[in-house]
Chains A and B, each alone.
Chain A
Amino acid sequence: MKQKEYLHDTYLSERWLQFCAGDKTAFGDLVDHNFTSLYHYGTRFSPDKGLIKDCIQDLFLEIWEKREKLDHIISIKPYLFQSLRNNLIARLKKQSRFSNLSADEEQVSNDSTPELKWITDETEALNNSRLVNGIELLPKRQREALYLKYYEDLSHEEIAAVMGLQRQAVANYLHYGIQKLREYWKYKTILLAMIIDFML
């Protein structure tokens, strides 16, 4: 199992180098391998499916244009995720009439930036149409970190790079995130038992 994965990874980085050298079929493979997971990641930020797919499209064209300068990249997926994240947030910000703060100001605090506000608003709209789920009770960044860690299997360092955070911040997000979800789960189970009790 481990062996196979390892081979798979080497194959992918080989294809990446071929892509950097201008191999179009390698570029096609790159699209094949990453489009869906990029899309799923993108849906964490916005319910606008067209916009997300558009951003991914942009991203691929962008990396094709600068392919020659990309051969130093080793962690391909985190690199793509990070780029999509930046593009998507920039795009969402441009769409927003209210946010005209500069990028520098954005860096000051992580939890009350216009970027986050935008993400919050967007996801809120999406969530209203869904069942209440424990994950929605968590701050968006915590959710994002959990998703990258557990669903996408990224390391703490990779998550830190993708989200522009310190490694310790990632560890905190993950720790409290799981803790909250466990609390929520217990609460839900008790509630469910009460409902069933009540019905009988």
Chain B
Amino acid sequence: MNNYNNFEVKDWIDHPGFRKWVYRGEQDSFWVSVLENTPSQTENIEQAIDILRMVRGELDNISDEELASRKSKLLGYISQEGQVRSWWRGRWFQAAAILLLTLGFGGYYWKHFTKTPYNAVLSRLENTTIIEVINNNEKVKLVTLPDGSSVILKKNARISYPDEFSADKREVVMQGEAFFEVQKNPDKPFFIYSGEMLTKVTGTSFSIKANATEKQVQLVVKTGVVEISVNNAVNKTKTNQLTLNPNQLVTLNRENNQFEKRNVTEPVLINLPIESQYFTFKKTPVKDVFKALELAYGVNINFDMQVTSKCNITARLGDEPIREKLEMICEVLNARFEMKNNTISVYSNGCEK
């Protein structure tokens, strides 16, 4: 195993077994242990992984359903040989156009790294575009979901979600470490698939740690109630369910699918300031409020410091997504805001005093 010490980036890239791990998640525990045991190679390995991912690029997934339907169509054509040529050209083209699925590029990667859950979600999300966001940077990345919920991704965390949630539920797939603030909506429960763990909430905030290379999935609740279970796609026989309250942390062992629940004094799991931040402001200058939001969500807030120099905010902001927090602040400031990607512009006429 120690012969990896003299490896160079090119050696990693050329190693078929290593590539199988990077691209298809094969022999995961072996490669994880190589990573752990050869710290001198960490940078080379990281570079090799990055380059291999660049080479692969984004891959659009084809759902199992679509594949099955295409196969049966093909089998249908060939059993009517003779007239095959005459009619499939026109008809098939139309059918293909209707069937056209635009799935997120990460589909393939997910399929192999999270094994089944991704498919479990995709099967119910036909005809919607799946968006995947990956945070490759050190800095946290805010993702605002179609329902307004905020997700803060740490480095290497990724989330996939449809451009429009279905009528009766909201579903996302995630991997890595992330903090969620889910928009309250009891009629449309929010489901998160993270490895073997399925999390159901209606409107709460919590952190999830679901790294592909770790043997466990963890979740800690900041506010509200969270329901978790073992993803059924993985384990059909056992239904293992648990309800969690604030300051409770759960660990799911991926190997035996057992949960372990315990109380914690602070809901800190992934070392983000927002996990323990409660946004209580008392006559706080607006620039400090914005600073706190910038730090917590990893966004940029543009505002006129001069105009708002006299504005103070007294508010207790809780676990609502950033959009709602901004709405409340703007209400106080008599301002309006615009959010484009992760840059927020606040337009205020200032506060009189």
Contact = CB atoms under 8 A, between A and B. Distances in A.
A147 to B, nearest CB: 6
A40 B60 contact: yes
Interface in B84-107: 84, 88, 92-93, 96-97, 99-102
B163 interface: no
Contacts of A196: 138-139
Given A146-B55, A150-B19, A153-B19, A57 B13 contact: no
B96 A147 contact: no
Contacts of B78: 24, 27, 61, 64
B56 interface: yes
A36 B96 contact: no
B88 A61 contact: yes
Contact of A50 (B10, B67, B97, B138): B97
A192 interface: yes
A99 interface: no
Given A61-B78, A61-B88, A31 B70 contact: yes
Chain B residues touching A, majority SS: helix
Size class of the A contact interface (CB-based, 8 Å): 35 or more
Interface stretch (B44-52, B200-208, B255-263): B44-52
Contacts of B27: 1
Given A24-B79, A151-B23, A35 B54 contact: no
A192 B137 contact: yes
Contacts of B138: 192, 196
Given A151-B55, A181-B51, A61 B74 contact: yes
Which 5 pairs show the lowest CB-CB distances between chains A and B?
A: A135-B54, A146-B55, A31-B71, A181-B51, A150-B55
Interface of A: 1, 24, 27-28, 31-32, 35-36, 39-40, 43-44, 49-50, 53-54, 57, 60-61, 64-65, 130, 133-135, 143, 146-147, 150-151, 153, 178, 181-182, 184-185, 192, 196, 199
9 contacts: A28-B74, A57-B74, A61-B84, A133-B54, A150-B55, A150-B56, A153-B16, A182-B47, A185-B50
Interface of B: 9-10, 13, 16-17, 19, 23, 27, 47, 50-52, 54-62, 67, 70-71, 73-75, 77-79, 84, 88, 92-93, 96-97, 99-102, 108, 137-139
